[in-house]
């Protein structure tokens, strides 16, 4: 894709990801982040959380992965940043759904800024989630 091939406001990718408590355990094993707020309801409650939370970096990784099929090569990602604005509570029985929409925010020279909207229910959970990608 080239700068001429995309337009500001265009949705380039979207998906819904279902997280379960098992997803959190698997991520903890892969990342080494075994903070008990990610798997124990009693610990989460003791520190004032509404329940077991998905790892922020898991949410961030799932969000950016949404654009990789569109890009064709993750090596075209130049930079990526987010603000963690709201937690993703993962219910022990029903889990949690993350909805990710990737939209072209800006195009300049040989790069584009892709704005990611990441929601859990009606709540946006990542703020200013932006990926700068190299165009062909």
Domain count of the fold of the chain? 1
CATH number at residue 66: 3.10.129.10
Q: Is 95 part of a structural domain of the chain?
A: yes
Residue 136 confidence (pLDDT) = 83
Q: Is 47 part of a structural domain of the chain?
A: no
CA distances from 103 to 31, 35, 41 (A): 28, 33, 35
Q: Which domain holds residue 59?
A: 3-19+55-134
Burial of 114 from C-beta contacts in 10 A (0-12 / 13-18 / 19+) = buried
Residue 5 confidence (pLDDT) = 85
Residue 1 confidence (pLDDT) = 62
Residue 75 confidence (pLDDT) = 97
Q: Is 112 part of a structural domain of the chain?
A: yes
Residues of the chain with pLDDT under 70: 1-4
Q: Is 91 part of a structural domain of the chain?
A: yes
């Amino acid at each position: 894709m080239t700068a001429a091939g995309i337009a500001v406001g265009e949705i380039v990718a979207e998906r819904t990801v279902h997280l379960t408590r098992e997803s959190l355990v698997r991520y903890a094993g892969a990342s080494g982040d075994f903070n008990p707020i990610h798997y124990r309801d009693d610990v989460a409650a003791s520190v004032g959380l509404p329940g077991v939370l998905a790892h922020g970096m898991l949410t961030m990784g799932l969000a950016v992965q949404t654009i990789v099929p569109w890009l064709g090569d993750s090596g075209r990602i130049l930079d990526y940043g987010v603000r963690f604005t709201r937690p993703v509570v993962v219910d022990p029985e029903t889990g949690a759904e993350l909805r990710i929409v990737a939209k072209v925010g800006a195009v300049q020279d040989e790069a584009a800024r892709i704005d990611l909207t990441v929601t859990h229910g009606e709540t946006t959970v990542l703020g200013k989630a932006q990926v700068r990608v190299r165009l062909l």
